[in-house]
C-alpha cells in the first residue's frame, strides 16, 4: 500500500473517530439535560403518551369561504403548536428508551399497564388530563373562558386588539403514586401546551429537576410571548412542590 493511500486511510479513520466522538458527546449532553425525565421512566422502559384531540364536524376550505368540508368523526384534530410539542417530547423519549416502548394513544384508549403516563393538553381536549389533575385541586382551567387558576392567582393570557394571542401560560404537573407516575403538560391555549413540554425538556437548572424527583406532587408554571404563529422560549415563573411556592 502506497504512502498516498495510507494517508487517505489514516485521514478517513481519524474523521470517523472524530465523528463518532462528536455523536457520543452530543448524546451524552442530551442525556444529561434529560436526566430528570429519565428518572421518571420505569425499569421496563414503557411510556404511554395520551394525545389531545378535538372533534370538528366541518372546516372551511381555503380560498372558498362559502364552502365547507365534512370531517369524518374518527379523524381527530389538535392545535399545530400541541403537535409540535408532542414531536419534541417523543424525540426526547426516544433518546431515553426504545422507540417500540413509546405508546401513543387517545384518552379513549388509555391502558392501565403503563407505569408512566404523560397526558398532553388540558381537560377540554384530553379527559385523561382532567382525571390526573383531580389530584391537584389547587389548579383548574376554566372553559370556554380559557383562563387558569392556581391558588389565588389567575392566569388570563393577553389578547391583542385584532384577536390574536399575545402571550400564553404552560403548566406541568407530575403526580407520583405508589407504583406509577402521571404527568400532565397543558396550557391555557395550545401554545401554552407546547411551552409546557419545552419547559419540561429544558429545565433551567438541576435544582428544579431534583425537587421534581423528590416530590409526590410537583407543579411548574411557564410563561411565553406569542407573535403571529411564533412563540418565545418558555420562562419558568415558579414551581410548587408543597404548600408553599418556590420562586425561580
Q: What is the pLDDT of residues 13-60, one digit of tens each?
A: 555 544 454 444 455 555 566 888 988 999 999 999 999 988 888 888
Indicate whether 103 belongs to any domain.
yes
Find the mean pLDDT for residues 194-202.
96
Indicate whether 12 belongs to any domain.
no
Indicate whether 19 belongs to any domain.
no
Indicate whether 146 belongs to any domain.
yes
First vs last Cα of the chain: how many Å apart?
A: 63
Q: What's the farthest any 2 CA atoms get from each other in the chain?
A: 78
Domain that residue 158 falls in: 34-247
d(CA 162, CA 114): 44
Backbone φ and ψ for 3, nearest 5 degrees, come out as -60, -35
Return the closest-CA partner of residue 165 out of 226, 233, 83. 226
Among 66-75, 190-199, 222-231, which is the least confidently predicted range? 66-75
Q: What is the pLDDT of residues 203-226, one digit of tens each?
A: 888 888 888 888 889 999 999 999
Indicate whether 10 belongs to any domain.
no
Indicate whether 89 belongs to any domain.
yes
Give the three cell numbers for residue 26: 452530543
Indicate whether 52 belongs to any domain.
yes
Alpha carbon 3 to chain centroid, angstroms: 54
Backbone φ and ψ for 46, nearest 5 degrees, come out as -90, 130
Indicate whether 122 belongs to any domain.
yes
- CATH of residue 221's domain is 3.30.379.10
Q: What is the pLDDT of residues 4-25, one digit of tens each?
A: 565 555 555 555 544 454 444 4
What pLDDT, on a 0 to 100 scale, did the predictor assign at position 24?
A: 47
Please count the structural domains in the chain: 1
**Residues whose CB is less than 8 angstroms from the CB of residue 42 and which lie 6 or more positions away in sequence, other chains included:** 115, 116, 180, 181
Q: What is the pLDDT of residues 115-173, one digit of tens each?
A: 999 999 999 999 999 999 999 999 999 999 999 999 899 999 999 999 999 999 999 99
What pLDDT, on a 0 to 100 scale, did the predictor assign at position 122?
A: 95
The model carries a pTM of 0.84
Amino acid at each position: 500500500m502506497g504512502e498516498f493511500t495510507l494517508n487517505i486511510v489514516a485521514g478517513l479513520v481519524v474523521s470517523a473517530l472524530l465523528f463518532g466522538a462528536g455523536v457520543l458527546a452530543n448524546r451524552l449532553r442530551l442525556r444529561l439535560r434529560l436526566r430528570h425525565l429519565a428518572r421518571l421512566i420505569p425499569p421496563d422502559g414503557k411510556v404511554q403518551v395520551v394525545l389531545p384531540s378535538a372533534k370538528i364536524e366541518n372546516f372551511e376550505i381555503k380560498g372558498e369561504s362559502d364552502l365547507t368540508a365534512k370531517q369524518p368523526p374518527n379523524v381527530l384534530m389538535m392545535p399545530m403548536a400541541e403537535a409540535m410539542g408532542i414531536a419534541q417530547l417523543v424525540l426526547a423519549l426516544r433518546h431515553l428508551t426504545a422507540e417500540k416502548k413509546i405508546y401513543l394513544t387517545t384518552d379513549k384508549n388509555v391502558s392501565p399497564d403503563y407505569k408512566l403516563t404523560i397526558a398532553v393538553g388540558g381537560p377540554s381536549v384530553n379527559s385523561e388530563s382532567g382525571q390526573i389533575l383531580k389530584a391537584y385541586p389547587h389548579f383548574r382551567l376554566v372553559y370556554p373562558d380559557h383562563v387558569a387558576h392556581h391558588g389565588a392567582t389567575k392566569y388570563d393570557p393577553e389578547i391583542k386588539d385584532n384577536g390574536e394571542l399575545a402571550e400564553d401560560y404552560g403548566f406541568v404537573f407530575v403526580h407520583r403514586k405508589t407504583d406509577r407516575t402521571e404527568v400532565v403538560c397543558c396550557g391555557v391555549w395550545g401554545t401554552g401546551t407546547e411551552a409546557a413540554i419545552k419547559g419540561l425538556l429544558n429545565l433551567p437548572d438541576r435544582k428544579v429537576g431534583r425537587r421534581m424527583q423528590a416530590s409526590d406532587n410537583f407543579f411548574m408554571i411557564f410563561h411565553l410571548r406569542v407573535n403571529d404563529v411564533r412563540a418565545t422560549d418558555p420562562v419558568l415563573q415558579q414551581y410548587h412542590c408543597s404548600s408553599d411556592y418556590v420562586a425561580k
